[in-house]
Amino acid sequence: MLTSGADPGKLPPMTEVTPDAAATRLRRSPLHERHTAAGAKFAPFGGWEMPLEYTGGGVLKEHTAVRAGVGVFDVSHLGKARVTGAGAVDFVDACLSNDLGRIGAGRAQYTLCCDDATGGVVDDLIAYRYADDHVFLIPNAANTTEVVRRLRAAAPPSVTVTDEHEGYAVLAVQGPRSADLLAALGLPTEHGYMSFSPATLDGVELTVCRTGYTGELGYELVVPAAQAVPVWDALFAAEPAPRACGLAARDTLRTEMGYPLHGQDLSLEITPVQARAGWAVGWDKPAFWGRDALRAEKASGPGRTLRGLVALERGIPRPGMTVRVGDTVVGTITSGTFSPTRKEGIALALIDTAAALADGDQVEVDIRNRATPMRLTRPPFVTPSVR
């Protein structure tokens, strides 16, 4: 049985990894054999070979399972890093954008690692505050090494920054019935959004986080990599029966919510001000990387901002496509897909501020050499159930 009661000030013990060996290969999840047996189609992502979708389901069924029931994603490619020592919270707060002082122990926070000179986004990540001397970070897969490098370079002698990328698996249990599934296993589900709670499964310590990337009620389980298989098996042996979901459905779900993807909607060239992510910036903090550049951009106004687009005719927008008003180029698609929920094309695009376009205005997107009309709107594209 699963029971809560582990020490909230401690993460589960980490599985040993060999960084040099990991750097020479395409990394695989500890659940790779389970995915193969389930008929997963794999694709490289952030230096990892991860499930894109599963045969017998596909993107549409996986997407629908999360919107209507419960799906489970293996997102073990996500990075993991731990910052410990006297003053760890204060140190992280002085580096990353959001205000860690707004949350206490047992809470999580979306935040940004920005370049100090330009304000561009090195990565977006979740910070888990365990204690004043203990912060656990989950950055994106491809950016973990750089985030850790920057933190280590800035850390005072009292603070240690540890890269634990392959030490843990992360399982995202998402959908309106996600709490029912976890409760059937005895896992804690009543903690609030952006908080976390420790638990055990037959002696395996794990952390249940009320976080996700789908817009639905959901949880992310942080599990020692060596114990990921029995936790996965327990989820798929329980009721309500979940559907295994791949990264393709994860992308359609997050795009429907207007959630940014680093490397497309956020990057070193796209600041939080441009991406309308200023809510994740502690503007009144005395210090964080990129503070001066971002405050200056906020004061003067960005030259472009991230906007939502909905197709008015058939056509699927894709990243890199040009947005026009007549013959004038006004922007570029950063993320685009077919929305399984709306049954139409949707996109995020960086639109020039000088174009003075308002929500509801019509633009054209060059899709397969055809000017496809789209309407500007403000995401999310669907009504979220996350709470």
DSSP string, 316-354: ---TT-EEEETTEEEEEEEEEEEETTTTEEEEEEEEEGG
Domains annotated for the chain, with CATH where assigned, are 2-79+166-256 (3.30.1360.120), 81-163 (3.30.70.1400), 258-377 (2.40.30.110)
pLDDT at 13 over 80: no
H helix runs in the chain, sequence order: 19-22, 32-37, 58-68, 88-95, 144-154, 178-184, 228-237, 247-257, 291-300
* pLDDT of 151 higher than 90: yes
pLDDT (0 to 100) of residue 315: 95
pLDDT above 70 as % of the chain: 94
Spatial distance between the Cα atoms of 88 and 76, rounded to a whole number of angstroms: 25
Q: What is the pLDDT of residue 57?
A: 82
Of 70 and 56, the one with more pLDDT: 70
Across 20-29, 263-272, 317-326, least confident range: 20-29
- State the average pLDDT over residues 61-73: 98
Per residue in 106-141, pLDDT tens?
Answer: 999 999 999 999 999 999 999 999 999 999 999 999
